[in-house]
Amino acid sequence: MTTLLAFLFTLAILIIFHEFGHYWVARRAGVKVLRFSVGFGQVIAKRTDRHGTEWALSAIPLGGYVKMLDERESEVPAGQLDQAFNRKSLGARAAIVAAGPLANFLLAILLFWSLFLIGVPILKPIIGEPTTGSPAQLAGIRGGETITRVSGEPVESWQDLHWLTLKQVLRGDTLRIESVDRRGSITEHTLAVPTLNAELEQAPLKALGLVRYLPPLDPVLGQLSPDGVATKAGMRAGDRIVAIDGITMATWEQVVDIVRRSPERPLRLSVVQAGQTREVTLIPAAARDGQIEIGRIGAGPHIDPALLAELHGTASYGPLEAMSRALSRTWELSAFSLEMLGRMITGQASLKNLSGPLTIADYAGQSAQSGVASFIAFLALVSVSLGVLNLLPVPLLDGGHLLYYFAEFLTGRPVSERIQEIGQKIGMGLLGLLMFFALFNDLNRLIFQ
């Protein structure tokens, strides 16, 4: 229910903001707006305002539209010809069409600004021990170091580290990482970036061996999955695992290592539960982690909040600095989205990076459960993506109409209806193909991950 409500709220906010951009500029340009609809298809609720605009809620919530007075769609009374969209100047029509995507960018800027103003929860960029044989280990990075720069750009949080690393990896650049160890010594490491693949695109830090630092944890159970292997075996939160198959367990990491290496293989656990030692036999369930099979028992460690307090922080800024960062973040995300689309079209990036409504709904639910700041950041990210998508020069999208207007500007006459008709068919085909790949990726993630 949380996922569904978060998804519907996300759609409502993005659609209303986008369509209101078209509506507001159309009204400023003197165009009569006949209908403002959230959703497509059958109208399920509506009201008409004093300007004659029908405000409607339609049955299919995956989009919306603003219907304007236009001689190409229906007969226009002589007294209203000056309010028809098609009678307006080229500049006015282009402004009305561009206003939708620009409204999405404006929404993203406002959301990011509010985040930077009130404070963004951050995870400090402290590195755990790199995975064996990884580029990070080979470059000499050691656990406990704090990353301060990536290829010359400052790093303030784990989120910054992920973003900057992803940008450098996709560009095929050598990764230069500057870090500070516990003694305050500054070191620059040069990482050899592997050949670009799906894993590197989707989880660059993990692929490079850069993992988050966690303080040593006792082998004590914390949160358990209700239908997990551990719960079914009678284990409870607070249980201490003292041995597995006769091997003494001193840390949670030892427990994880053995469980991961034992999918569908019986394990004998010595467990202290409510002061009593008991023997438990369980069989870790098999799961996929990339290309390998691992074991899982549906249990996490007990973590003392005081241990993690020093790893977290809050980044907040004054109004002007917050706005500067909001503008910069929106621009960077827009440019990055275009770059990724270009790479996917040319085959330089995997089509697995495409996400559809199912993944968006999943992320909406996860971010809503993580807190207000996470949900606001998610809304801003999707708003940028929607703005970029709508500006693509594909017929049926706002960018396609702007392409027609650019051609009209060059030739001095509107694009013929025949060409527009052909363009619509091409646009429908391209968008249908895009949706197919996005839904395929969604289902693949849900079924196989």
pLDDT tens-digit readout, 189-207: 888 777 766 666 677 888 8
Residue 435 binned pLDDT confidence (cut-offs 50, 70, 90): confident
CB 77 within 8 Å of CB 68: no
Residue 208 binned pLDDT confidence (cut-offs 50, 70, 90): confident
Residue 27 inside a domain? The answer is no
Please indicate, yes or no, whether residues 425 and 329 belong to a single structural domain of this protein: yes
Angle at 210 between CA 212 and CA 181, to 5 degrees: 75
Residue 68 inside a domain? The answer is no
Please indicate, yes or no, whether residues 286 and 341 belong to a single structural domain of this protein: no
Residue 367 inside a domain? The answer is yes
Please indicate, yes or no, whether residues 148 and 276 belong to a single structural domain of this protein: no
CB 183 within 8 Å of CB 159: no
Which one of 180, 208, 236 terminates a domain? 208
Q: What is the pLDDT of residue 384?
A: 92
Please indicate, yes or no, whether residues 332 and 447 belong to a single structural domain of this protein: yes
Residue for token pair 């275009």: 338
pLDDT tens-digit readout, 274-324: 889 999 999 999 987 767 889 999 999 988 777 777 777 788 889 999 999
Residue 31 inside a domain? The answer is no
Query: Which CATH number covers residue 234?
Result: 2.30.42.10
Burial of 328 (0-12, 13-18, 19+ CB in 10 A): exposed
Distance separating alpha carbons of residues 93 and 91, to the nearest angstrom: 6
Angstrom CA distances, 439 to 289, 355, 358, stand at 22, 7, 7
pTM of the model: 0.76
Residue range 399-410: mean pLDDT, rounded:
91
Residues 6+ apart with CB under 8 A from 159: 122, 123
Neighbours of 119 (CB within 10 A): 14
Distance separating alpha carbons of residues 333 and 380, to the nearest angstrom: 10
- Structural domain boundaries enclosing 438: 89-119+316-449
Neighbours of 263 (CB within 10 A): 17
HEC string of the chain equals CHHHHHHHHHHHHHHHHHHHHHHHHHHHCCCCEEEEEEEEEEEEEEEECCCCCEEEEEEEEEEEEEEECCCCCCCCCHHHHHHCHHHCCHHHHHHHHHHHHHHHHHHHHHHHHHHHHHCEEEECCEECCCCCCCHHHHCCCCCCCEEEEECCEECCCHHHHHHHHHHHHHCCCCEEEEEECCCCCEEEEEECCCCCCHHHHHCHHHHHCCCECCCCCCCEEEEECCCCHHHHCCCCCCCEEEEECCEECCCHHHHHHHHHCCCCCCEEEEEEECCEEEEEEECCEEEEECCEEEEECCEEECCCHHHHHCCEEEECCCHHHHHHHHHHHHHHHHHHHHHHHHHHHHCCCCHHHCCCHHHHHHHHHHHHHHCHHHHHHHHHHHHHHHHHHHCCCCCCCHHHHHHHHHHHHHHCCCCCHHHHHHHHHHHHHHHHHHHHHHHHHHHHHHHHC
**Which value, to the nearest 10 degrees, does the dihedral of the CA atoms of residues 37, 41, 44, 46 take?**
30
Six-digit token pair at 208?
Answer: 């490079």
Distance separating alpha carbons of residues 397 and 413, to the nearest angstrom: 21
Q: What is the largest CA-CA distance in the chain?
A: 92
Please indicate, yes or no, whether residues 262 and 351 belong to a single structural domain of this protein: no
Please indicate, yes or no, whether residues 149 and 180 belong to a single structural domain of this protein: yes
CB 124 within 8 Å of CB 116: no
Residue positions counted in the chain: 449
221-233 b/e with 16+ CB inside 10 Å = b? Answer: beebeeebbbbeb
Which one of 155, 187, 208 terminates a domain? 208
Distance separating alpha carbons of residues 407 and 390, to the nearest angstrom: 18
Residue 384 inside a domain? The answer is yes
Six-digit token pair at 327?
Answer: 């503008």
Please indicate, yes or no, whether residues 333 and 295 belong to a single structural domain of this protein: no
CB 297 within 8 Å of CB 282: yes
Residue range 177-192: mean pLDDT, rounded:
86
Please indicate, yes or no, whether residues 197 and 251 belong to a single structural domain of this protein: no
Please indicate, yes or no, whether residues 114 and 195 belong to a single structural domain of this protein: no
Please indicate, yes or no, whether residues 340 and 442 belong to a single structural domain of this protein: yes
Please indicate, yes or no, whether residues 385 and 445 belong to a single structural domain of this protein: yes
Residue 122 binned pLDDT confidence (cut-offs 50, 70, 90): confident
Please indicate, yes or no, whether residues 411 and 320 belong to a single structural domain of this protein: yes
Neighbours of 244 (CB within 10 A): 21
Residue 95 inside a domain? The answer is yes
Q: Which of 19, 145, 178, 201 is catalytic?
A: 19
Q: What is the pLDDT of residue 113?
A: 95
How many domains are contained in the chain?
Answer: 3
Residue 442 binned pLDDT confidence (cut-offs 50, 70, 90): low
The per-residue pLDDT of the chain, averaged, comes to: 85
The phi and psi torsions of 123 (rounded to 5 degrees) equal -110, 125
Residue 11 inside a domain? The answer is no
Q: What is the pLDDT of residue 274?
A: 86
Q: What is the pLDDT of residue 327?
A: 95
| Percentage of residues in the chain having pLDDT higher than 90 | 35
CB 3 within 8 Å of CB 362: yes
Residue 71 falls in the annotated catalytic set: no
Which one of 255, 286, 306 terminates a domain? 306
Residue 446 inside a domain? The answer is yes
